[in-house]
Structure 1
Amino acid sequence: MSATPEKSRPSAFWPLAAIVIPAVGLFARIEIRGAENLPREGAYVLAANHNSEFDPLIVAVAVWRLGRAPRFMAKESLFTVPVLGAALKATGMVPVPRSSSSANQSMKAAQQIAEDGRGVIVYAEGTLTRDPELWPMRGKTGAVRLALAGDLPLIPLAQWGVQEIMPRYGKLKFPRRSHVVVQFGPAMDVSEYAGATTPAVLTRATDELMGRVSSMLSDIRGIPAPAERWNPSQHGQSETGRLES
């Protein structure tokens, strides 16, 4: 596969990739499925499940291997961390503020990335899944809203195996090199939701998105996904997390 324009163009991702890719390779053997579903050029929204603090690195490496620069919507406080904050800013990551009143600012920043023909990775659940069996839980509407606002391809992504490297809220296991599957799904047709502004419609679109992610994860795991997705608010759990949409 020839290099894409985004990957062949000099950027801050080059030195980071030289460090991150070999480091991640010590922990994971990444198998990429559905590579043809990630556009080689142009903007997109990539919506991934989230079951380990380590999986952003896995997703980033997979996206980079396919020739695209991985840009996440990341929690605003991470931008104040020494070194990490500078790396986030240099690579064009999008800060997500805690206050809902500032949410439009992060959406505008993400939309600007899209207008520049770049991709945005969003954790549609808003945080690490609370599902006891690590299935995707109820999603938030950020990924759908972003795709609709910019008329962008909305691509579901399912990943599995990272929890063997670093369990949810656990410690990194080393040395351990685990098989991790990252599957990119076909872009979801959101045309029927175009112009949607009501929470009910956006929620319905998000449910469809999470259903696609769950279905792909079911294929990877070889077992059926639960009929109903985990809802933290019904189990007395907070939905605040490290990476949000």
Structure 2
Amino acid sequence: MAELVYPPVIATARAWFKALDLRFDIQGTEHVPLRGGALLVSNHISYLDFIFAGLAALPSKRLVRFMAKESVFRHKVSGPLMRAMKHIPVDRSQGEDAYRHALRSLDSGEVVGVFPEATISRSFTLKEFKSGAARLAQEARVPLVPMALWGTQRLWTKGHKRDFGRNHFPVGIRVGEPLHPGADEQPEGLTSRLRERMQELLEAAQRAYPGKPSDPKDTWWLPAHMGGTAPTPAEAKAM
């Protein structure tokens, strides 16, 4: 079936990025498979992460079907768009429905996007991962493609106002080599391996990031361990 909505949405997003004068540093997109099912797994630091994570698959000419909370699909504007782009609603009280939906998408050769932290990390560090991505990869027999985003929190994240001004924000995107589930590997072990790889990618994106706070009051988007004023992981968990 022809994709009537997704390509125009991508074109609109790219025009918006240009208007904001965002600068991208993207590496590793060659790791997204050209065909067949795969799970694209990203960290979660911004309300806009699904847009930026989807960019990683465009060089491979793949469209990502993201798993997103069900309330987004109920919105009068975003709901019709999300359904038309074949994204996958997640009702946390009935998670198995979303799991089966994602499994069908993977079996049909789609790339499914997952945020294993489930919610935005207020500390901008990796939270604990849910094991659903590992379970999906094992059952569908598809690779996990780890990736990390950095800088997207400066645009719009939990607890801070949106900043859609022309601020020349850099956005770093790192994609790693696919991880293939072992024949007898437990979901917990695969999840741990995935998290370790994503931590490496996140640190690489942070090291290469050119944007530094010009004002001591502008350190909110930096993690505490990097000298910023973001909550520590323990403080974020308490929040």
The answer to whether TM tops 0.5 is: yes
Aligned mates of 2:184, 2:234 — CA distance in 1: 26
CA RMSD in angstroms comes to: 2.4
Match of 1:97 among 87, 91, 97: 91
With normalisation by structure 1, the TM-score equals: 0.79
1:194-230 CA-to-partner distances (Å, cap 9, x unmatched) read 5xxxxxx42332122111101111122129xx8xxx8
1:4-58 CA-to-partner distances (Å, cap 9, x unmatched) read xx9xx64321221222221133332222201110011111001100111122221
1:68-122 CA-to-partner distances (Å, cap 9, x unmatched) read 11210010111110021001111111110120xx211111100111111111000
Output the amino acid matched with 1:73: M
Contact 2:125/2:233, CA 8 A, preserved across alignment: no
Structure 2 unaligned blocks of 5 or more: 209-224, 226-231
Partner of 1:211: 196
Look up the SS of the partner of 1:186 in the other structure.
Answer: coil
Partner of 2:206: 221
Contact 2:30/2:59, CA 8 A, preserved across alignment: no
Aligned mates of 2:150, 2:141 — CA distance in 1: 29
Query: Number of residues paired by the alignment?
Result: 215
Output the amino acid matched with 1:218: E
Output the amino acid matched with 1:118: E
Look up the SS of the partner of 2:39 in the other structure.
Answer: strand
1:127-155 CA-to-partner distances (Å, cap 9, x unmatched) read 1113x3x1111111111111111001101
Alpha-carbon spacing, 1:232–1:150, altered in 2? closer, same or farther (3 Å): farther
Output the amino acid matched with 1:49: N
Partner of 1:183: 174
Output the amino acid matched with 1:59: A
Match of 1:71 among 60, 65, 76: 65
Match of 1:106 among 95, 98, 103: 98
Partner of 2:121: 129
1:39 pairs with 2:33 = yes
Look up the SS of the partner of 1:85 in the other structure.
Answer: helix
Aligned mates of 1:43, 1:49 — CA distance in 2: 20
Alpha-carbon spacing, 1:36–1:234, altered in 2? closer, same or farther (3 Å): closer
1:82 pairs with 2:76 = yes
1:21 pairs with 2:51 = no
With normalisation by structure 2, the TM-score equals: 0.81
Match of 1:57 among 24, 33, 51: 51
Partner of 1:198: none
1:135-185 CA-to-partner distances (Å, cap 9, x unmatched) read 111111111111111001101001111122234432222122211111110
Look up the SS of the partner of 1:157 in the other structure.
Answer: strand
Offset at residue 191 of structure 1 (A): 1.3
